[in-house]
Amino acid sequence: MKLAIVGATGVVGTKMLEMVEQYKIPYNELVLFSSKRSSGSELEVNGEVFTVQELTEDRTKDDFDYVIMSAGGSTSEKFAPLFEESGSIVIDNSSFWRMHDDIDLIVPEINTPTLNRKIIANPNCSTIQSVIALKPLYDAFGVKRVNYTTYQSVSGSGAGGIRDLEEGAKGAEPTTYPKPIYNNVIPQIDVFLDNGYTKEEVKMIDETKKILGDDSINVTATCVRVPVISSHSVQINVTLDKEASEEEVRDTFKNIPHIVLMDNPAEGVYPTPFEATNENEIYVGRIRKDPTMANTFHVWCVGDNILKGAAQNTVQILKSLIENK
């Protein structure tokens, strides 16, 4: 199997290489691509050193079986169709393809690709962990309404976000965010739209419905950047279709391999980014009934945005495609 990784030198790309090792992806040939600026650097995968190459249009004709991309929307817009035309299956981590009607938007624990086209989109990082928490509730009780509030770490903005936090602590002005992130929170992720929502908030709203395959769910969101290096936290306020008790809601999260239930606040047991960082699972806790709305519950979930929110989910999609070929 011939595999290409585009954006291999970035924050997510380097984690993809780790996930290729962890999930034992059985390639015969591996090619690492980046922009011209980062080409020539060397990266190690499975004990072998690879020289990163510049991605050009000609290289899309190299008969790759699979291509995983994490190089931004403009790169994906240009190059994903070229790889597709050459017969490759592309798994893309950017936002560009996610809401195209003919493109699969996949979280392997929830849905499977139809491959109407040979491009598969990886969802937004906060959406992934949120729908993983919602899916057991959706299956058991049905979901009528969801209100998200996110607390998103700076690594979601790549190296620039991390730099703004670390250098901001030394008094430097931000270069990635519109305001300082050190000792601050910013209720803006991506640009504002005419309706007052940000693009990030609309991503979460639209992607939740597409992944769960249910346009009837009422979804809203507020997305906030916080001064944390790794892992996103999401407060989910969810209204269920069927009546449920707090204990029944809590029980739905038990014995699920990809969910860790940490929910005993009286003993100080609840998830934070500290527990979730560098872990593959989604952490859930602080489950309680909302007394202001009928059949509504609060659920707090935390996940590593670079792993399950990006690199891990992408490589899981790849692994499932290989295994079900």
Res. 325 pLDDT band, cuts 50 70 90: confident
Q: What pTM does this model have? A: 0.95
Q: Active-site residue numbers?
A: 125, 232
Supply the pLDDT for residue 4. Answer: 98
Q: Is the pLDDT of residue 176 over 90?
A: yes
Instruction: Determine what percent of the chain is predicted with pLDDT higher than 70.
Output: 100
List, for residues 243-283, the tens digit of each pLDDT value.
Answer: 999 999 999 999 999 999 999 999 999 999 999 999 999 99
**pLDDT tens, position by position, 89-114:** 999 999 999 999 999 999 999 999 99
Quote the mean pLDDT of the chain.
97
Neighbouring C-beta atoms of residue 118, cutoff 10 Å: 21
What are the structural domains of the chain? 2-123+310-323 (3.40.50.720), 126-305 (3.30.360.10)
In this predicted structure, what is the pLDDT of residue 47?
95
Q: What is the pLDDT of residue 229?
A: 97
Residue 303 has pLDDT above 90, yes or no: yes
pLDDT score at 294: 97
Q: Give 42-52 pLDDT, tens digit per residue.
A: 999 999 999 99
The DSSP 8-state label assigned to residue 172 in this structure reads P
Output the CA–CA distances (angstroms, integers) from residue 90 to 30, 68, 132, 206, in the order listed.
Answer: 15, 6, 23, 22
What average pLDDT score do residues 138-163 get? 97
Residue 125 structure tokens:
């990082």
Q: Is the pLDDT score of 214 beyond 90?
A: yes
Instruction: Please name the residue ranges forming H helices in the chain.
Output: 11-22, 73-85, 125-141, 159-168, 199-212, 246-251, 273-276, 312-323
User: Rounded distance, CA 29 to CA 56, Å?
Assistant: 18
pLDDT > 90? residue 36: no
Predicted local confidence at residue 254, as pLDDT: 97
Residues 6+ apart with CB under 8 A from 149: 221, 222, 224, 234, 235, 237
Mean pLDDT for 137-162 is: 97
Name residue, tokens 């938007």.
Answer: 105
Evaluate if residue 317 carries a pLDDT over 90.
Answer: yes
Task: State the residue for tokens 């290289």.
Answer: 59
In sequence order, what DSSP letters do the residues of 294-322 get, joined into one string?
A: TTEEEEEEEE-TTIIIIIHHHHHHHHHHH
Whether pLDDT at 217 is above 90: yes
Concatenate the DSSP letters of all residues of 240-297 into one string.
Answer: ESS---HHHHHHTTTT-TTEEE--BGGGTB---HHHHTT-SSEEEEEEEE-TTSTTEE
> What tokens does 292 get?
């202001």
Mean pLDDT throughout 14-36? 96
